[in-house]
Every structure is written in C-alpha cells, then in structure tokens.
Amino acid sequence: MNPGNGIPIYEQICRQVRFAVANGGLVVGEHVPSVRELATRLAVNANTVARAYRDLQAQGVLVPIRGTGLAVALNAVKTCQQNRLEMIRVRLRSVLLEAIQNGVAEDEIRRLFDTEWKSLILNCSPDG
Amino acid sequence: MNPGNGIPIYEQICRQVRFAVANGGLVVGEHVPSVRELATRLAVNANTVARAYRDLQAQGVLVPIRGTGLAVALNAVKTCQQNRLEMIRVRLRSVLLEAIQNGVAEDEIRRLFDTEWKSLILNCSPDG
Amino acid sequence: MNPGNGIPIYEQICRQVRFAVANGGLVVGEHVPSVRELATRLAVNANTVARAYRDLQAQGVLVPIRGTGLAVALNAVKTCQQNRLEMIRVRLRSVLLEAIQNGVAEDEIRRLFDTEWKSLILNCSPDG
Amino acid sequence: MNPGNGIPIYEQICRQVRFAVANGGLVVGEHVPSVRELATRLAVNANTVARAYRDLQAQGVLVPIRGTGLAVALNAVKTCQQNRLEMIRVRLRSVLLEAIQNGVAEDEIRRLFDTEWKSLILNCSPDG
DNA sequence: GTGGTCTAGACCACC
DNA sequence: GTGGTCTAGACCACG
C-alpha cells in the first residue's frame, strides 16, 4: 500500500486484486486471501479489506463461496486484463494533463519519465 | 480544475498558482485575483479558494498587502521554479510505481505515455 | 432450498421438517434422513443439516433414538400443525407491513398476490 | 426499521428511500436527510446510514452535491417507480413459494392475507 | 455543516 | 474457520 498517493486504501486493494487476476497471480476459481489474513498482511483494518472485497464482488471480480471465502470469478480474467492498462492510463493521463496545462515541455516530462522509471526498476526488481 | 483526480480542489489551486509564478503568469509584487473573483472564475466555493490562499501564505508564496489583498512574494519565483518539475515528478513516480509493481512492461507504459501525450496536446493547444 | 430469501439454510431445513411433520410427510416414530444423506440430497454442508437437527431436537420436534438416529417426536405433530400457518403468517405480515408503510394500495398488492400465486402453481404443480 | 425480518438495516434504508422517491416523499433535486440526522432519527449508527447512501449512489438514486450533502438524482424517479412493486413482489413471491411447496391451500393463504391486511391497516392508518 | 475513510471491536450466520 | 452487519468514534476534505 502506498499511503498519500490520494487513492484510498480499499481502492488500492481493489486495483491490486484486479492486477493480480489479470497477471495470473490470482487464479480463477481459487480463493483469495481471507479478509483477516490480508488485513494482517497489509497491516490494515479488517473492515478496510472487507470493503474492498465487497466492491470487487459488486464488480463481478470475486464471487462468494458460502462459508469458505471468496474466489476469483470465472469471467473476471477477461475484464481485468482489459482494464489492466486502462487503470494506469487514467492516472498517467491526469499527470500529463497537469504538465501540459502548466507549460511543462515534452522533453522535460520525458526526462522525468526516464529517470523515475530507471530509479524505480532498480528499487523494485531485486525485491519484486 | 479536474475533480476526481484525487487531488483536493484547494490543493489544485495551490499547484496552479505555483506553476503560474514559476512561468511568469503571475508576476512578483502583483496582486493575485481576489478570493471571490477566483472562486467565480473557477466555479468553486469561495472558502476553497481562501483555503488555498491561506496555504500559499503559509508556504511563503503569497504575502498579504495591507488592505489590498495578496501578492506574489519576492522570493517565491525561485522556489516555485525549483518545485515546478518536482510537483509533476512526485505524481508521475506514483503512477510508474504502481505500473512496475503490477507487471506493466516498459514498452506498454511508454506506449501509453506517447498516445496520451499526443491526445492531450491536440486537445489543449488550441484552447490552452 | 431457496438461498437469498434472507432465511438461513439451517432455518429453512427446520421449517421444512416441521411442515412435513404437520403434513404427514414425516411420520411419528419414523426416522428422519441421516445428516449425511439429507446434506447430500440438498447439496448442503453436513454441518448445516446437523445444526437444523440440533435446533429441532431443542424444540422437541425430533428425538434421538439411541444409536440409530433421530425420529419424529410423539407430540410433534400437534405442535407442528398448530405452527404450520403461523410460520407463513409471520413472513407474510412482514411483507404486507412494508407494503402498507410505503403506500402500496390494496388492489396493487392483491394483484401481485394473484399473479404470483398463479405463476407459482404453474411451476410447482408438475414437479412438486 | 423492522429488525428481525432478515433484511439488514442499511438495506431497509435503501428500500425506504426508493419507496419515498417513487411516492414523491423525496423530491428530485432535493437533499435527503444528512447521514447524521437520519442516523439520529432512526436511532441507528451513522455508518449504517452512510452505507445505505453509498449503495444508493452506486445505484444512481442519489447524487452527491459537494459539501452540501446528497440529493435525489434526476432520473431516479422513473427507476424507483418501476421498482416500487417489484421490491414487494420478490418478497411476496418468496413467501408464497414456501406456502405452495409445503401444501398450504389457496384459501388458507388468502385467509391469512385478509386477516393480516386488516390487522395492519388498523395499526398503521392512525399513526401513518 | 456535509460526506468519506479508517480503525477497533462485538456479534452473527454459515461451513 | 469464513464473510457480513453493526456500533462507536476519530480524522479528513470540502463548502
């Protein structure tokens, strides 16, 4: 979780689940981590995870399996794969819009992109 | 203003003022628009503008001129120019981080960048 | 079983057993189906059936026969016949209450009653 | 609110709001009672009301008006009027289904309907 | 003042 | 064990 990026925690959880379904990190028909387990793992309140799971059910990504938890819905993979880049696109567009509206030149923003990308893959590849 | 991008309106106002100071759109010593005028222009509650101006004063970007309103502080230009790309950098980094953590490949995100950038300059250059 | 009608499955089982006792579908002194058998037949977890049987014992509808399972209690028929319409009455009253409190007219609700009743006897009589 | 009818409180609130919109008790464009006010009036926790209002927003019945609360959506009346009897229908059907499946005769259930209806209009009309 | 988020913890229904 | 509901109360963003 990345606090302070403006995205509520439950929403971040939703996004990560959708990414994981699209990536195959969460397999169709398999149970997702239980509310309590994921809450512990993310050091977050159980209700926050429950809220995320409830939203994901409403969106058809998760389906309840009575008494045993929640599982990835059969047709969730397709939807999540379609939305994978879309989720990033919306956020990226918002940043680029602010840059353009405030006179940031293309080479400036491209340089930012390159340096940040390099910096992040160095941090993420070892432990990712 | 771009509602729904996760940034509070008063914060968006702060950022735009700082950008404008850095760009020369707002000149040192000049008065900024009054709270009421800017509120009307942005179709936003006056208290929201007041909140933004209060924050900008606390940050030393604006200074009160007795009885006549607020003006751009003398040393604000330097700070704002230094922060100009930094404000974009932080948001961009957050997006790239999510992309990397969720397995978005470099060519995918670069393609997103290119298409979104092109799409935005078409929309913004005429009316920008 | 009718999931999603707000009544827990174990409670639905209890009700059906009481109805069956009242109807003569289950005869006094006769064994009821074993937990496992009924669970299989209803495609329900065995613990759920066990819970229903436990409640029915507590209510005096079923009595344990040493080593051989559960049977319908001697005085259960009278109680179940008395409760037969009562069980329906409570649920019906709750629906009518909501209708009245929210301005549903008598002819509207009567029309609903008629059409639903007709629709259901068509579906149920052949396979019931 | 009617506890013990199997419908969660937040769901009952949703239903009552939809009924009120259909009936004209809540007018399009008008604010609904604030979360805190309704919570006090119903003697219920504020979060429970907030949950109901959140669901109603997701269903397009309510729309947020920044900083001033929630209002009935423009096109909510049509939907709510269409769903008015449907909400009752589903519950009624469930009761009738149980009656039919368990051998309740038509005249028995009609008699129940009549007596309960009369009993309820006596209770509700004076204070309604 | 408004709604939204989050936490903490209790209780229930179900398996 | 699972998720769902509800309560209580804190804090934030916005007007």
Q: What is the DSSP string of chain D?
A: --TTSSS-HHHHHHHHHHHHHHHTSS-TTSBPPPHHHHHHHHT--HHHHHHHHHHHHHTTSEEEETTTEEEE-TTHHHHHHHHHHHHHHHHHHHHHHHHHHTT--HHHHHHHHHHHHHHHHHHHHHH-
Task: Give domain status of residue B3, yes or no.
Answer: no
Are C25 and C59 in the same domain?
yes
Of C15, C53, C58, C60, the C-alpha closest to C37 is: C53
The answer to whether residues B25 and B50 belong to one domain is yes
Find the length of chain C: 128
> Predicted confidence band at D125 (pLDDT cuts at 50, 70, 90)?
low
Cβ(C33)–Cβ(C52) under 8 Å?
Answer: no
Query: Which CATH number does the domain housing residue C46 bear?
Result: 1.10.10.10
Whether residue A2 lies inside any domain: the answer is: no
pLDDT at B127: 53
Q: For E5, which residue's CA is nearest its C1'?
A: A8
- C68 and C26 share one domain: yes
Cβ atoms of residues C74 and C67 within 8 Å: no
pLDDT score at B128: 43
Given CB atoms, is D36 within the 8 Å cutoff of chain C? no
Domain membership of residue B28 (yes or no) is: yes
Tell me if D10 sits within 8 A of D50, measured CB to CB: no
If asked whether residues B63 and B108 sit together in one domain, one would say no
Supply the pLDDT for residue A106.
Answer: 96
In a domain, A4, yes or no: no
Chains C and B touch (3+ CB pairs under 8 A): no
**Do you know the residue count of chain A?**
128
Do B14 and B67 share a domain, yes or no? Answer: yes
CB-CB neighbors (< 8 A) of D15 in chain C: 98, 102
Count of other CB atoms within 10 angstroms of residue C106? 12
Q: At what angle do helices D76-101 and C76-101 cross, to 10 degrees?
A: 170
Mean pLDDT of chain B: 90
Total tally of structural domains belonging to chain B: 2
Question: Is residue B26 in some structural domain?
Answer: yes
C-alpha neighbours within 13 Å on the C-beta side of residue D89: 13
Q: Hey, which residues does A72 pair with through a beta bridge?
A: A62
Distance CA C52, CA C62 (A): 10
pLDDT at B119: 95
A3 part of a folded domain: no
User: Could you tell me if C52 and C96 lie in one domain?
Assistant: no
pLDDT at D66: 79
User: Does A95 contact B100 at a Cβ distance shorter than 8 Å?
Assistant: no
Instruction: Output B65 or D3, whichever has higher pLDDT.
Output: B65
Average pLDDT over residues B96-102: 95
Tell me the C-alpha distance between A19 and A5, whole Å.
Answer: 18
Q: How much is the pLDDT for A39?
A: 96
Q: What is the per-residue pLDDT for B17?
A: 94
In a domain? residue D46? yes
d(C-alpha A22, C-alpha A15), whole Å: 11
Does residue C92 lie within any of the structural domains?
A: yes
Mean pLDDT of the D119-124 span: 88
Co-location of C25 and C64 in the same domain = yes
Average pLDDT over residues D56-75: 92
User: How close D67 gets to chain C, by Cα (Å)?
Assistant: 30
- Do D90 and D35 share a structural domain? no
Residue B71 has pLDDT above 50, yes or no: yes
For D19, the domain range is: 9-77
Domain match, C15 and C32 both: yes
- Looking at residue A24, its pLDDT comes to 93
Q: Which residues of chain C have pLDDT under 50?
A: 128
Q: Which residue of D has its CA nearest to C19?
A: D102
Position of tokens 């309590």? A36
Would you say A81 and B85 are in contact if contact means Cβ atoms under 8 Å apart?
no
A–B interface: beta-carbon pairs under 8 A: 111
8-state DSSP, A70: E
3-state secondary structure of C25: coil
A127 falls in which pLDDT band (50, 70, 90)? Answer: low
Higher pLDDT, B121 or C125: B121
Q: What does the pLDDT read at residue A1? A: 78
Whole-angstrom Cα distance, residue A77 to residue A56? 13
Cβ–Cβ contact A99 with B under 8 A:
yes
**Mean confidence (pLDDT) of chain D:** 92
Q: What's residue C7's pLDDT?
A: 85
Q: Which two tokens stand for residue B53?
A: 């101006």
**Residue B14 confidence (pLDDT):** 93
pLDDT of res. A27: 94
What phi, psi does C72 have (nearest 5°)?
Answer: -70, 130
Q: Does D89 touch chain C (CB under 8 A)?
A: yes
Q: Quick one: pLDDT at residue C45?
A: 86
pLDDT at A6: 85
Calpha distance D46→D39 (Å, rounded): 5
The predicted-structure confidence for A73-101, as pLDDT tens digits, reads as follows 999 999 999 999 999 999 999 999 999 99
Q: What is the pLDDT of residue D2?
A: 78
Task: Return the pLDDT at A67.
Answer: 79
CB-based contacts of A117, cutoff 8 Å, min separation 6: B96, B100, B106, B109
Element (H, E) at C62: strand C62-65
Q: Dump the DSSP string for chain B.
A: --TTSSS-HHHHHHHHHHHHHHHTSS-TTPBPPPHHHHHHHHT--HHHHHHHHHHHHHTTSEEEETTTEEEE-TTHHHHHHHHHHHHHHHHHHHHHHHHHHTT--HHHHHHHHHHHHHHHHHHHHHH-
- Which of helix, strand or coil describes residue B69? strand
What's the mean pLDDT in D98-108? 94
Phi-psi region of D104 (alpha: psi -120 to 50; beta: other; left: phi over 0): beta
How many Å from the CA of C37 to C1' of F5? Answer: 33
Residues B68 and B88 in one domain: no
Matching residue, tokens 């319409």:
C85
Q: Are residues B69 and B121 in the same domain?
A: no
Can you give the pTM of this predicted structure?
Answer: 0.89
Per-residue pLDDT, averaged over B100-122, amounts to: 96
What is the pLDDT, as a whole number, of residue A128? 43
Query: Is 70 exceeded by the pLDDT of residue A117?
Result: yes
Verify that B91 and B42 share a domain, yes or no.
Answer: no
